[in-house]
């Protein structure tokens, strides 16, 4: 008999806006979200931390935010850039600044580390993020050998085309059914802000609906998962692949 598995449902973009916060907390109180990643320099970041503390939502990670890109006219263009991604010193300095801001806002260290639009998968942000996670002793998304990341619960294609078929109860449970990891992080982006200035906006409302669906919680149990958090896991960050 296969031992029970752990599912961490992590909501990215906490602090992006009040409406984003509202969607994440709704999906936590009434759904399956167990963890969130905080964008520390967004206007609603402090409000997010206060609300999280008020409801006992303690599993907060740092969502490194170095920029955002949108698909337009056949290519990716910058909506904004915090620093030049090819400037290793600037990237490292900005990441440390955001970690310091996280400490200032929460009074503690993050339980995990990831980044907006996964920019830490590429150099030079990769080396900075790997080193930061190792120093803090926390898991880094995509680089933690004890937690498998699943990002398929997302309502767009790689070019920003609508993919509503990926935001259903069946699609979410299908992702988990085919995941082989003993501990799984399911990424999500719930929100209730219809005016959010991003290429991923109306899909966030749909995510809230699915994450709060009773059939999803029942299906998770049937698949042998127990909901958990990063703080509950003694996850060792993996070493950076030198390739």
Catalytic residues: 12
Contact 208, 117 (CB under 8 A): no
- Residue 72: enclosing H or E segment and its boundaries? strand 67-72
Tokens linked to 113: 């580390």
Cα four-point dihedral sign 10, 15, 20, 22: positive
DSSP of 174-225: HHHHT---SEEEEEE-----TT-SSS--HHHHHHHHHHT-HHHHHHHHHTTE
Q: Between the CA of residue 113 and those of 39, 90, 230, what are the distances in Å?
A: 11, 19, 10
């Amino acid at each position: 008999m296969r031992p029970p598995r752990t599912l961490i449902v992590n909501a990215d973009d906490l602090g992006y806006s009040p409406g984003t916060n509202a969607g994440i907390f709704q999906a936590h109180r009434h759904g399956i979200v167990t963890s969130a990643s905080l964008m520390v320099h967004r206007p609603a970041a402090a409000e997010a931390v206060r609300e999280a503390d008020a409801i006992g939502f303690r599993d907060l990670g740092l969502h490194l935010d170095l920029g955002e890109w949108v698909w337009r006219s056949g290519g990716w263009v910058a909506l904004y850039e915090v620093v030049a991604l090819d400037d290793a010193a600037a990237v490292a300095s900005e990441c440390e600044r955001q970690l310091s801001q996280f400490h200032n806002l929460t009074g503690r260290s993050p339980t995990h580390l990831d980044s907006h639009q996964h920019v830490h998968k590429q150099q030079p942000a990769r080396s900075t993020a790997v080193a930061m996670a190792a120093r803090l002793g926390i898991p880094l998304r995509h680089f933690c050998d004890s937690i498998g990341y699943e990002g398929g619960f997302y309502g767009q294609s790689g070019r920003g085309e609508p993919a509503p078929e990926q935001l259903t109860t069946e699609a979410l449970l299908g992702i988990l059914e085919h995941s082989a990891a003993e501990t799984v992080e399911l990424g999500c982006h719930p929100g209730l802000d219809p005016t959010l200035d991003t290429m991923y906006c109306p899909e966030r409302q749909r995510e809230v609906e699915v994450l709060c669906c009773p059939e999803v919680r029942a299906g998770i149990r049937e698949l042998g998962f127990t909901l958990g958090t990063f703080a509950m896991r003694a996850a060792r960050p993996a070493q950076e692949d030198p390739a």
